[in-house]
Amino acid sequence: MRIAYYNHTSAVSGAEMNLMVTAKHYTKAHPVIFAPEGELLDRARKDWLEVVPLASFNARLSRNPFRLAAGLIGMFKAGWQLSEAVREQDIQVIHANSLRAGMMASFFSWRHRIPVVWHLHDIPPKGLTGWLIRMYAMRAAQSVIAISEPVMKDYLKLGQRIQLVHNGAVLSEFPVKEKEYIREKIRMQLNTPLESKVMTIIGQIAPWKRQEDAIRALHALVQQGEENYLWIVGEPKFRLENELYLEELYRLAERLKVKDYVRFTGFREDIDEICCAADLLLLCSENEPFGRVIIEAMAQGTPVIATSGGGVSEIIQHKRNGLLYTTRNILELVQGIQDIQRNEELRRRICENGIERIKNHFSIEQAAAATEQIYSHLMTGETGTNSGLRQSREVAK
Ligand code: UDP
Ligand code: GLC
Protein backbone atom coordinates (compact mmCIF):
# COMPACT_ATOMS: atom_id res chain seq x y z
CA MET A 1 0.00 0.00 0.00
CA ARG A 2 1.83 3.18 -1.16
CA ILE A 3 0.58 6.24 0.70
CA ALA A 4 1.32 9.81 -0.38
CA TYR A 5 1.68 11.68 2.91
CA TYR A 6 1.19 15.25 1.68
CA ASN A 7 2.32 18.26 3.70
CA HIS A 8 1.86 21.69 2.11
CA THR A 9 4.69 23.32 4.07
CA SER A 10 8.27 22.37 4.83
CA ALA A 11 8.22 23.98 8.29
CA VAL A 12 8.11 21.50 11.15
CA SER A 13 5.77 21.71 14.12
CA GLY A 14 3.56 19.16 15.90
CA ALA A 15 1.63 18.04 12.82
CA GLU A 16 4.86 17.30 10.94
CA MET A 17 6.45 15.60 13.96
CA ASN A 18 3.37 13.41 14.14
CA LEU A 19 3.59 12.66 10.44
CA MET A 20 7.20 11.51 10.68
CA VAL A 21 6.91 9.42 13.80
CA THR A 22 3.68 7.76 12.59
CA ALA A 23 5.13 7.08 9.13
CA LYS A 24 8.06 5.28 10.74
CA HIS A 25 5.73 2.97 12.65
CA TYR A 26 3.58 1.64 9.85
CA THR A 27 3.69 -2.11 9.48
CA LYS A 28 1.65 -2.45 6.28
CA ALA A 29 1.63 0.89 4.50
CA HIS A 30 4.61 2.34 2.69
CA PRO A 31 4.62 6.13 3.18
CA VAL A 32 6.10 8.51 0.62
CA ILE A 33 6.40 12.07 1.91
CA PHE A 34 5.31 14.73 -0.61
CA ALA A 35 6.29 18.24 0.50
CA PRO A 36 8.27 21.31 -0.58
CA GLU A 37 12.05 21.11 -0.08
CA GLY A 38 13.10 22.25 3.39
CA GLU A 39 13.27 21.12 6.99
CA LEU A 40 10.59 18.43 6.76
CA LEU A 41 12.13 16.62 3.80
CA ASP A 42 15.63 16.96 5.27
CA ARG A 43 14.43 15.23 8.42
CA ALA A 44 12.47 12.61 6.49
CA ARG A 45 15.56 11.74 4.44
CA LYS A 46 17.60 11.35 7.64
CA ASP A 47 14.93 8.89 8.83
CA TRP A 48 15.23 6.96 5.55
CA LEU A 49 11.68 7.80 4.50
CA GLU A 50 10.98 7.98 0.77
CA VAL A 51 10.35 11.56 -0.32
CA VAL A 52 9.03 13.41 -3.38
CA PRO A 53 9.87 17.13 -3.41
CA LEU A 54 7.17 19.45 -4.72
CA ALA A 55 7.34 23.13 -5.71
CA SER A 56 7.05 25.34 -2.67
CA PHE A 57 3.78 27.16 -2.06
CA ASN A 58 2.75 29.06 1.04
CA ALA A 59 -1.00 28.47 1.05
CA ARG A 60 -2.50 31.26 3.07
CA LEU A 61 -6.20 32.06 3.04
CA SER A 62 -6.91 35.77 3.51
CA ARG A 63 -10.02 37.94 3.95
CA ASN A 64 -8.68 40.42 1.41
CA PRO A 65 -10.40 39.41 -1.89
CA PHE A 66 -7.26 39.98 -4.03
CA ARG A 67 -5.04 38.01 -1.69
CA LEU A 68 -7.71 35.35 -1.38
CA ALA A 69 -7.87 35.03 -5.18
CA ALA A 70 -4.06 34.84 -5.41
CA GLY A 71 -4.03 32.25 -2.61
CA LEU A 72 -6.66 30.12 -4.33
CA ILE A 73 -4.84 30.25 -7.66
CA GLY A 74 -1.65 29.16 -5.87
CA MET A 75 -3.54 26.34 -4.17
CA PHE A 76 -4.98 25.13 -7.49
CA LYS A 77 -1.49 25.17 -8.98
CA ALA A 78 -0.08 23.18 -6.05
CA GLY A 79 -3.03 20.77 -6.27
CA TRP A 80 -2.39 20.22 -9.97
CA GLN A 81 1.31 19.52 -9.34
CA LEU A 82 0.42 17.07 -6.60
CA SER A 83 -2.07 15.26 -8.82
CA GLU A 84 0.65 14.87 -11.44
CA ALA A 85 3.23 13.64 -8.92
CA VAL A 86 0.93 11.02 -7.33
CA ARG A 87 0.04 9.60 -10.72
CA GLU A 88 3.72 9.07 -11.47
CA GLN A 89 4.35 7.37 -8.13
CA ASP A 90 1.77 4.57 -8.16
CA ILE A 91 0.00 5.85 -5.04
CA GLN A 92 -3.09 4.15 -3.54
CA VAL A 93 -4.15 6.71 -0.90
CA ILE A 94 -3.33 10.41 -0.40
CA HIS A 95 -3.04 11.38 3.25
CA ALA A 96 -3.20 15.19 3.38
CA ASN A 97 -1.69 16.45 6.62
CA SER A 98 -3.76 19.63 7.10
CA LEU A 99 -6.99 21.26 6.07
CA ARG A 100 -5.26 23.19 3.30
CA ALA A 101 -3.36 20.15 2.10
CA GLY A 102 -6.69 18.29 2.03
CA MET A 103 -8.27 20.96 -0.15
CA MET A 104 -5.33 20.98 -2.54
CA ALA A 105 -5.28 17.21 -2.74
CA SER A 106 -9.03 17.07 -3.44
CA PHE A 107 -9.27 19.82 -6.08
CA PHE A 108 -8.10 17.40 -8.77
CA SER A 109 -9.56 14.14 -7.49
CA TRP A 110 -11.28 13.79 -10.87
CA ARG A 111 -7.80 13.67 -12.37
CA HIS A 112 -5.82 11.44 -10.00
CA ARG A 113 -8.83 9.31 -8.87
CA ILE A 114 -7.10 8.37 -5.61
CA PRO A 115 -8.99 8.49 -2.27
CA VAL A 116 -7.96 11.43 -0.07
CA VAL A 117 -7.77 11.43 3.74
CA TRP A 118 -7.85 14.88 5.34
CA HIS A 119 -5.95 14.97 8.64
CA LEU A 120 -7.17 17.87 10.76
CA HIS A 121 -4.82 19.20 13.44
CA ASP A 122 -6.54 22.48 14.24
CA ILE A 123 -9.82 23.66 15.69
CA PRO A 124 -11.74 24.63 12.52
CA PRO A 125 -12.32 28.27 11.58
CA LYS A 126 -15.71 29.69 12.58
CA GLY A 127 -18.22 31.61 10.46
CA LEU A 128 -18.79 31.40 6.74
CA THR A 129 -15.24 30.26 5.88
CA GLY A 130 -15.53 27.38 8.32
CA TRP A 131 -18.94 26.40 6.97
CA LEU A 132 -17.74 26.49 3.36
CA ILE A 133 -14.72 24.37 4.21
CA ARG A 134 -16.88 21.82 6.02
CA MET A 135 -19.29 21.62 3.09
CA TYR A 136 -16.35 21.09 0.76
CA ALA A 137 -14.86 18.43 3.07
CA MET A 138 -18.17 16.58 3.05
CA ARG A 139 -18.13 16.36 -0.71
CA ALA A 140 -14.43 16.01 -1.38
CA ALA A 141 -12.76 13.96 1.37
CA GLN A 142 -13.17 10.21 1.36
CA SER A 143 -12.18 10.13 5.02
CA VAL A 144 -11.29 12.71 7.67
CA ILE A 145 -9.03 12.19 10.69
CA ALA A 146 -9.36 14.57 13.65
CA ILE A 147 -6.75 14.70 16.40
CA SER A 148 -9.20 15.51 19.22
CA GLU A 149 -12.87 16.09 20.01
CA PRO A 150 -12.88 19.90 19.62
CA VAL A 151 -11.25 19.49 16.21
CA MET A 152 -13.89 16.93 15.30
CA LYS A 153 -17.00 18.59 16.74
CA ASP A 154 -18.16 20.90 13.95
CA TYR A 155 -17.64 18.27 11.31
CA LEU A 156 -19.75 15.79 13.27
CA LYS A 157 -22.70 18.17 13.17
CA LEU A 158 -22.65 17.88 9.39
CA GLY A 159 -22.50 14.11 9.54
CA GLN A 160 -19.08 13.99 7.88
CA ARG A 161 -17.41 10.61 7.87
CA ILE A 162 -14.74 11.32 10.41
CA GLN A 163 -12.54 9.34 12.77
CA LEU A 164 -10.74 10.40 15.89
CA VAL A 165 -7.11 9.32 15.95
CA HIS A 166 -5.08 10.79 18.78
CA ASN A 167 -1.38 11.36 18.24
CA GLY A 168 0.86 8.63 19.58
CA ALA A 169 4.19 8.84 21.41
CA VAL A 170 7.20 6.56 21.44
CA LEU A 171 7.65 4.91 24.82
CA SER A 172 11.36 5.09 25.38
CA GLU A 173 11.91 6.06 28.98
CA PHE A 174 15.64 6.18 29.72
CA PRO A 175 17.11 3.73 32.25
CA VAL A 176 17.84 5.29 35.68
CA LYS A 177 21.63 5.55 35.22
CA GLU A 178 21.26 7.15 31.81
CA LYS A 179 18.67 9.55 33.21
CA GLU A 180 21.18 10.81 35.76
CA TYR A 181 23.77 11.33 33.07
CA ILE A 182 21.30 13.17 30.78
CA ARG A 183 20.14 15.35 33.65
CA GLU A 184 23.70 16.43 34.42
CA LYS A 185 24.58 16.96 30.78
CA ILE A 186 21.53 19.07 29.87
CA ARG A 187 21.63 21.10 33.06
CA MET A 188 25.28 21.89 32.46
CA GLN A 189 24.51 22.91 28.86
CA LEU A 190 21.70 25.16 30.01
CA ASN A 191 23.70 26.63 32.85
CA THR A 192 21.24 25.37 35.46
CA PRO A 193 22.30 24.07 38.90
CA LEU A 194 21.98 20.29 39.18
CA GLU A 195 19.93 20.33 42.38
CA SER A 196 17.53 23.15 41.44
CA LYS A 197 13.87 22.71 40.49
CA VAL A 198 13.34 22.99 36.75
CA MET A 199 10.12 23.58 34.81
CA THR A 200 10.04 23.53 31.05
CA ILE A 201 7.58 24.76 28.44
CA ILE A 202 8.11 23.31 24.98
CA GLY A 203 6.67 24.31 21.61
CA GLN A 204 6.64 27.05 19.02
CA ILE A 205 6.91 30.51 20.52
CA ALA A 206 3.54 32.10 19.80
CA PRO A 207 1.05 34.27 21.69
CA TRP A 208 -1.55 31.47 21.85
CA LYS A 209 0.98 29.19 23.56
CA ARG A 210 1.08 31.78 26.38
CA GLN A 211 4.69 31.20 27.46
CA GLU A 212 4.19 34.49 29.37
CA ASP A 213 2.09 32.60 31.94
CA ALA A 214 4.99 30.28 32.68
CA ILE A 215 7.19 33.34 33.29
CA ARG A 216 4.54 34.86 35.55
CA ALA A 217 4.26 31.63 37.53
CA LEU A 218 8.05 31.54 37.89
CA HIS A 219 7.95 35.12 39.16
CA ALA A 220 5.31 34.22 41.79
CA LEU A 221 7.43 31.29 42.99
CA VAL A 222 10.63 33.33 43.18
CA GLN A 223 8.76 36.03 45.11
CA GLN A 224 7.75 33.40 47.64
CA GLY A 225 11.44 32.54 48.04
CA GLU A 226 11.23 29.33 46.01
CA GLU A 227 14.10 29.21 43.55
CA ASN A 228 13.03 27.61 40.29
CA TYR A 229 14.36 27.63 36.76
CA LEU A 230 12.31 27.79 33.59
CA TRP A 231 13.47 26.45 30.22
CA ILE A 232 11.52 27.95 27.34
CA VAL A 233 12.16 25.54 24.49
CA GLY A 234 11.21 26.26 20.88
CA GLU A 235 11.39 29.01 18.31
CA PRO A 236 8.94 31.39 16.66
CA LYS A 237 7.64 30.01 13.35
CA PHE A 238 5.35 31.01 10.51
CA ARG A 239 4.61 34.68 11.37
CA LEU A 240 6.25 37.98 12.31
CA GLU A 241 3.78 38.19 15.21
CA ASN A 242 5.53 35.18 16.75
CA GLU A 243 9.00 36.77 16.42
CA LEU A 244 7.67 39.86 18.19
CA TYR A 245 6.16 37.72 20.92
CA LEU A 246 9.59 36.27 21.66
CA GLU A 247 10.93 39.81 22.16
CA GLU A 248 8.02 40.45 24.48
CA LEU A 249 8.92 37.38 26.53
CA TYR A 250 12.52 38.60 26.92
CA ARG A 251 11.22 41.94 28.14
CA LEU A 252 8.73 40.35 30.53
CA ALA A 253 11.42 38.18 32.15
CA GLU A 254 13.57 41.26 32.56
CA ARG A 255 10.75 43.43 33.94
CA LEU A 256 9.74 40.78 36.48
CA LYS A 257 13.40 40.36 37.42
CA VAL A 258 13.46 36.61 36.75
CA LYS A 259 15.76 36.80 33.72
CA ASP A 260 18.50 34.92 35.58
CA TYR A 261 16.17 31.97 36.11
CA VAL A 262 14.91 31.72 32.53
CA ARG A 263 16.70 29.93 29.70
CA PHE A 264 15.54 30.50 26.14
CA THR A 265 16.97 27.46 24.41
CA GLY A 266 15.71 27.96 20.85
CA PHE A 267 14.70 24.88 18.86
CA ARG A 268 16.07 21.63 20.34
CA GLU A 269 16.36 18.28 18.65
CA ASP A 270 16.52 16.39 21.96
CA ILE A 271 13.05 16.87 23.46
CA ASP A 272 13.08 13.47 25.18
CA GLU A 273 16.29 14.44 26.96
CA ILE A 274 14.95 17.89 27.86
CA CYS A 275 11.87 16.26 29.42
CA CYS A 276 14.02 13.82 31.29
CA ALA A 277 16.34 16.57 32.64
CA ALA A 278 13.47 18.85 33.76
CA ASP A 279 11.21 18.14 36.75
CA LEU A 280 7.96 19.37 35.28
CA LEU A 281 6.40 20.23 31.91
CA LEU A 282 4.05 23.20 31.70
CA LEU A 283 1.60 23.75 28.87
CA CYS A 284 -0.10 27.13 29.09
CA SER A 285 -1.83 27.30 25.67
CA GLU A 286 -5.17 28.84 24.91
CA ASN A 287 -7.22 25.98 23.45
CA GLU A 288 -4.44 23.58 22.47
CA PRO A 289 -5.97 21.27 19.83
CA PHE A 290 -4.01 18.31 21.22
CA GLY A 291 -0.44 19.02 22.43
CA ARG A 292 2.09 16.41 21.35
CA VAL A 293 4.57 17.62 23.96
CA ILE A 294 2.22 16.44 26.69
CA ILE A 295 2.33 12.82 25.57
CA GLU A 296 6.07 13.05 24.87
CA ALA A 297 6.72 14.25 28.43
CA MET A 298 4.36 11.69 29.98
CA ALA A 299 6.09 8.94 28.01
CA GLN A 300 9.33 10.00 29.75
CA GLY A 301 7.69 9.87 33.18
CA THR A 302 7.78 13.66 33.49
CA PRO A 303 4.75 15.18 35.26
CA VAL A 304 2.67 17.68 33.28
CA ILE A 305 0.54 20.65 34.33
CA ALA A 306 -1.58 21.88 31.42
CA THR A 307 -4.48 24.15 30.59
CA SER A 308 -7.77 22.31 30.50
CA GLY A 309 -9.07 23.72 27.15
CA GLY A 310 -8.94 22.21 23.68
CA GLY A 311 -8.10 18.53 23.45
CA VAL A 312 -5.85 18.40 26.52
CA SER A 313 -8.41 16.88 28.87
CA GLU A 314 -8.69 13.89 26.53
CA ILE A 315 -5.11 13.08 27.57
CA ILE A 316 -4.79 14.25 31.16
CA GLN A 317 -7.10 13.08 33.92
CA HIS A 318 -6.73 15.63 36.69
CA LYS A 319 -4.70 14.41 39.69
CA ARG A 320 -4.55 10.91 38.25
CA ASN A 321 -1.92 11.27 35.52
CA GLY A 322 -1.32 15.04 35.41
CA LEU A 323 -2.77 18.32 36.59
CA LEU A 324 -5.14 20.65 34.74
CA TYR A 325 -5.64 24.34 35.40
CA THR A 326 -7.77 27.10 33.91
CA THR A 327 -6.07 29.01 31.10
CA ARG A 328 -4.54 32.34 32.27
CA ASN A 329 -5.14 31.52 35.95
CA ILE A 330 -1.62 32.01 37.31
CA LEU A 331 -2.65 31.37 40.92
CA GLU A 332 -4.02 27.97 39.99
CA LEU A 333 -0.92 27.20 37.95
CA VAL A 334 1.39 28.13 40.84
CA GLN A 335 -0.70 26.04 43.22
CA GLY A 336 -0.39 23.06 40.87
CA ILE A 337 3.38 23.47 40.61
CA GLN A 338 3.70 23.62 44.41
CA ASP A 339 1.42 20.61 44.87
CA ILE A 340 3.66 18.52 42.66
CA GLN A 341 6.86 19.85 44.18
CA ARG A 342 5.72 19.44 47.77
CA ASN A 343 3.70 16.26 47.60
CA GLU A 344 6.05 13.42 46.68
CA GLU A 345 3.26 10.84 46.73
CA LEU A 346 1.20 12.88 44.22
CA ARG A 347 4.24 13.42 42.00
CA ARG A 348 5.13 9.73 41.95
CA ARG A 349 1.54 8.70 41.24
CA ILE A 350 1.23 11.15 38.37
CA CYS A 351 4.52 10.03 36.80
CA GLU A 352 3.68 6.33 37.01
CA ASN A 353 0.11 6.76 35.81
CA GLY A 354 1.32 9.05 33.04
CA ILE A 355 3.49 6.32 31.54
CA GLU A 356 0.59 3.85 31.85
CA ARG A 357 -1.75 6.30 30.16
CA ILE A 358 0.55 6.59 27.16
CA LYS A 359 1.15 2.84 27.02
CA ASN A 360 -2.57 2.07 27.05
CA HIS A 361 -4.07 4.88 24.99
CA PHE A 362 -1.49 7.07 23.25
CA SER A 363 1.23 4.77 21.97
CA ILE A 364 2.59 5.34 18.50
CA GLU A 365 1.80 1.73 17.62
CA GLN A 366 -1.91 2.35 18.32
CA ALA A 367 -1.95 5.57 16.29
CA ALA A 368 -0.12 4.00 13.34
CA ALA A 369 -2.42 0.94 13.35
CA ALA A 370 -5.59 3.10 13.50
CA THR A 371 -4.35 5.15 10.56
CA GLU A 372 -3.43 2.08 8.53
CA GLN A 373 -6.90 0.69 9.19
CA ILE A 374 -8.41 3.81 7.64
CA TYR A 375 -6.27 3.29 4.53
CA SER A 376 -7.34 -0.37 4.33
CA HIS A 377 -11.01 0.56 4.63
CA LEU A 378 -10.62 3.09 1.85
CA MET A 379 -8.99 0.56 -0.39
CA THR A 380 -11.62 -2.07 0.25
CA GLY A 381 -14.39 0.46 -0.31
CA GLU A 382 -15.53 0.64 3.35
CA THR A 383 -15.76 4.22 4.56
CA GLY A 384 -15.19 5.95 7.88
CA THR A 385 -17.66 5.99 10.71
CA ASN A 386 -18.64 8.42 13.39
CA SER A 387 -17.53 6.08 16.13
CA GLY A 388 -14.44 8.17 16.88
CA LEU A 389 -16.18 10.46 19.32
CA ARG A 390 -17.58 7.53 21.23
CA GLN A 391 -14.14 5.91 21.35
CA SER A 392 -12.50 9.08 22.63
CA ARG A 393 -15.10 9.43 25.39
CA GLU A 394 -14.30 5.89 26.43
CA VAL A 395 -10.57 6.70 26.44
CA ALA A 396 -11.13 9.78 28.59
CA LYS A 397 -12.84 7.78 31.36
N1 UDP B 1 9.61 20.38 19.28
C2 UDP B 1 10.94 20.09 19.06
N3 UDP B 1 11.87 21.01 19.44
C4 UDP B 1 11.53 22.20 19.98
C5 UDP B 1 10.16 22.49 20.20
C6 UDP B 1 9.22 21.55 19.85
O7 UDP B 1 11.29 19.01 18.56
O8 UDP B 1 12.42 22.97 20.28
C9 UDP B 1 8.58 19.37 18.90
C10 UDP B 1 7.92 18.71 20.10
O11 UDP B 1 8.71 17.64 20.57
C12 UDP B 1 6.59 18.27 19.51
C13 UDP B 1 6.33 19.35 18.47
O14 UDP B 1 7.55 19.99 18.20
O15 UDP B 1 6.70 17.03 18.87
C16 UDP B 1 5.33 20.37 18.95
O17 UDP B 1 4.07 19.79 18.90
P18 UDP B 1 2.83 20.28 19.73
O19 UDP B 1 1.69 19.51 19.24
O20 UDP B 1 3.10 20.21 21.17
O21 UDP B 1 2.67 21.82 19.38
P22 UDP B 1 2.50 22.63 18.01
O23 UDP B 1 3.76 23.43 17.89
O24 UDP B 1 2.34 21.68 16.91
O25 UDP B 1 1.30 23.47 18.22
C1 GLC C 1 -1.12 20.96 15.68
C2 GLC C 1 -1.82 21.35 16.98
C3 GLC C 1 -1.25 20.61 18.17
C4 GLC C 1 -1.16 19.12 17.88
C5 GLC C 1 -0.34 18.92 16.64
C6 GLC C 1 -0.18 17.45 16.28
O7 GLC C 1 0.10 21.59 15.54
O8 GLC C 1 -1.73 22.75 17.20
O9 GLC C 1 -2.06 20.81 19.31
O10 GLC C 1 -0.59 18.45 18.97
O11 GLC C 1 -0.94 19.56 15.55
O12 GLC C 1 -1.40 16.85 15.96
CATH number at residue 95: 3.40.50.2000
- Write out pLDDT tens, residues 190-231: 999 999 999 999 999 999 999 999 999 999 999 999 999 999
pLDDT at residue 247 tops 70: yes
Residue 100 near residue 76 (C-beta atoms within 8 A): no
Please give the distance of CA 340 from its chain centroid, rounded to a whole number.
25
pLDDT at residue 355 tops 70: yes
Residue nearest to atom 5 of ligand 2 (CA): 14
Pair 340, 386 in one domain: no
Pair 195, 106 in one domain: no
Which residue out of 147, 166, 327 has the highest number of ligand 2 atoms within 8 Å of its CB and is therefore the one to mutate?
147
Please name every residue paired with 45 in a beta bridge, in sequence order, or none if there are none: none
Pair 71, 21 in one domain: yes
Pair 159, 284 in one domain: no
Sheet with strand 2-6: strands edge to edge:
50-54, 30-36, 2-6, 93-96, 116-120, 143-146, 162-164
Residue 315 sits in which domain range?
Answer: 176-361
CA distance 306 to 336: 10
Pair 116, 186 in one domain: no
Pair 118, 267 in one domain: no
Pair 163, 21 in one domain: yes
Pocket of ligand 1 (CB under 6 A): 13-15, 17, 202-204, 233-234, 267-268, 271, 290-293, 296
In this predicted structure, what is the pLDDT of residue 235? 95
pLDDT at residue 396 tops 60: no
If pLDDT is split at 50, 70 and 90, which confidence band does 57 have?
A: confident
Domain count, the chain: 2
CA distance 233 to 203: 6
In this predicted structure, what is the pLDDT of residue 349? 97
Pair 80, 36 in one domain: yes
| Mean pLDDT computed over 227-238 | 94
pLDDT at residue 350 tops 90: yes
Mean pLDDT across the chain: 91
In this predicted structure, what is the pLDDT of residue 388? 40
CA distance 193 to 176: 20
* Pocket flag, ligand 2, residue 13 (CB < 6 Å): yes
Pair 139, 229 in one domain: no
Pair 388, 343 in one domain: no
Torsion angle in degrees (nearest 10) through CA of 187, 193, 198, 200: -40
Pair 72, 211 in one domain: no
Pair 247, 313 in one domain: yes
| Mean pLDDT computed over 348-355 | 97
pTM: 0.93
CA distance 397 to 258: 39
If pLDDT is split at 50, 70 and 90, which confidence band does 157 have?
A: low
CA distance 77 to 80: 5
- Write out pLDDT tens, residues 158-186: 655 889 999 999 998 788 889 999 999 99
